[in-house]
Amino acid sequence: MQDRAFPPSALKAFLLTSYLPCFLGAWLRALLKAWPGLLLALSGLFLSACSDAEAPVAAEAQQQPIALRPEALRPGLLQEAAARVAQQPGAGRNAVWMLADGYAALAARLLLVQQAQRSLDLQYYIWHDDIAGALLFDALRQAADRGVQVRLLLDDNNTAGMDELLAALDAHPRIEVRLFNANEHRRWRWLGYITDFTRMNRRMHNKSLTADGLASIVGGRNVGDAYFGLGDQTLFADLDVLALGPVAGDVSADFERYWRSAPVRPAGSLLAAAQPGVLEVLAVRAQALSRTPQARRYIEALSAQGSAGSLLNGRPPDAWSSLQLVSDDPAKGLGPVPAASLLTHELAQGQQPPKRSLHLISPYFVPGEKGMQWFAELRRQGVQVLVLTNALAATDVAVVHSGYAKYRHELLAMGVQLWELKPDASAPSIVSAFGAEGSSSASLHAKTFLADCDRLFVGSFNLDPRSASLNTEMGVTLAAPDLAQTVCAHLQAQLPLHAYQLKLATDGQMEWWEEQAQARKVWTEEPHSSAWQRAMLRLLAWLPVEWLL
């Protein structure tokens, strides 16, 4: 379940059977020189352990809306909340709730879908057809049945096996589905990467949901069980923002820009017509999935937390803040675009540079030459820089770790604080101070930056070459000093409990310090890694593929 734009599983299988015997030979080195992107898929076979589990499906169905308590379903709740926000003093202020807990993040999405009266715009990189995906798909169907106009924009990199369902949704008179950088080869999808690699390597990594142009959810989560804590697999520690106010209009306008952009195609122009009854089967399946043990745990947790409807009707916002939406030009999906049209430029122009501190949370962290120059300049100015990323044992894309690993020594030498999340960390607690539940197995997925502990960025952007140059990205910046200070303080308190701190020993070798109950444990190799994994990382670090990471 990788949140990266790497070739799909069909290509991985093809590479495994065809090229593995020669991986260390000169023939494969020549192939890698010609097709460096194939290395990314191959490395996942050795170093990534993520998989999707099929959820059990019952036969019977119920008809009531799924997974929200009745008070969250009262019509007009969203419109009433928007009216209250509009009456607040100060122009341009938004009510902001931070969504760190996976259950709350799913409930908030269901809440907006079930409260929408006019329109729903959804834009996602990954949408799995699992419990969470099926619940949201069926909620969209129900919204369309009651007259809401639904537009769904998906990156086509992760839609394998979903063509019939997407075609059925698209056939609904009030649902339209479009695909970003669509693969022309619907059955043998790996052929698209062979014949059109330059385009297929560029993906839409954006994540947003907007209801009636009044409220938006923007952040790092895709749609899938692992992002919401529904499955038994590794939980991604992630963060979203639910914003009610003027920024929702900005997100709507940005969605419109993508919806009508050159890399986007209507699903109907690509997909075969769906068989009759697919949406009826979806409704039955969604109701059955809502009674699985995973869904029952979710519903029980929501009951303990209080209704999701309290986000709009009673629970005070975590902050009142002006928000700035930043996003890439969708033309980036076809090739390089002017620097002025990039998210990185908008961030640099719209925000004051940090003067005291910079906290970066990035699951995939490959600073590159420009990033290293930036960090060096910040350190010369006396800015304290802290980076939290995944340890090798926690990452879901270990090839990216090889790109990061070669910069660690130099970063530590210049005084950058490096922390790596443990694989058994209490996942959401490391990125939030908002009462999130943890998981016994965690991988960092949040993309959050804090400047001087008074300005905050939440979005889809990783600090790596792929986000900077290949994928389209989006996020929001918040001018909310109290909120940012709370997050900073919480992060500092949680890091020693849930992450390894990297240090340089007196002999110049790297160490991983782990604070345990009785004493500090010092690792001299990547914690909880095998000799084979470490050898593979060293091999990958020699190869010229950083631009793909």
Annotation says 205 is catalytic: yes
205, 359, 422, 498: the active-site residue: 205
Alpha helices in 101-157 (DSSP H): 102-115, 131-145
**Residue 473 CB partners (closer than 8 Å, separation 6+):** 205, 206, 327, 328, 343, 459, 460, 461, 467
Residue 388 three-state SS: strand
Exposed / middle / buried, residue 516 (Cβ in 10 Å: 0-12, 13-18, 19+): exposed
Residue 323 three-state SS: strand
Q: How far is CA 271 from CA 162, 166, 168, in A?
A: 10, 8, 10
129, 212, 238, 250: the active-site residue: 212
Q: CB–CB of 96/321 below 8 Å? A: yes
452, 454, 464, 498: the active-site residue: 452
**Residue 534 CB partners (closer than 8 Å, separation 6+):** 525, 526
Spatial separation of the C-alpha atoms in residues 154 and 181, rounded to whole Å: 9
Backbone angles phi, psi at 310, to 5 degrees: -65, -20
Annotation says 355 is catalytic: no
Tally of CA atoms within 13 A in the half-sphere of 180 that contains its CB:
32
DSSP-assigned beta bridge partners for residue 420: 389, 500
Annotation says 503 is catalytic: no
12, 128, 207, 498: the active-site residue: 207
Nearest Cα residue to 528 out of 401, 404, 392: 392
Backbone angles phi, psi at 341, to 5 degrees: -100, 10
Length of the chain counted residue by residue:
549
Residue 491 three-state SS: helix
Tokens (6 digits) for 208: 């947003």
Annotation says 207 is catalytic: yes
Annotation says 445 is catalytic: yes
445, 454, 464, 498: the active-site residue: 445
Q: Label residues 10-42 b or e (16+ Cβ within 10 Å = b).
A: bbbebbeeebeeebeeeebeebbeeebbbbbbb
Spatial separation of the C-alpha atoms in residues 459 and 205, rounded to whole Å: 10
Annotation says 212 is catalytic: yes
Q: What is the end-to-end Cα distance of the chain in Å, rounded?
A: 16
In SS3 terms, 206-253 reads as CCEEEECCCEEEEECCCECHHHHCCCCCCEEECCEEEEECCHHHHHHH
155, 447, 464, 498: the active-site residue: 447
Could you give the residue numbers annotated as active site? 205, 207, 212, 445, 447, 452
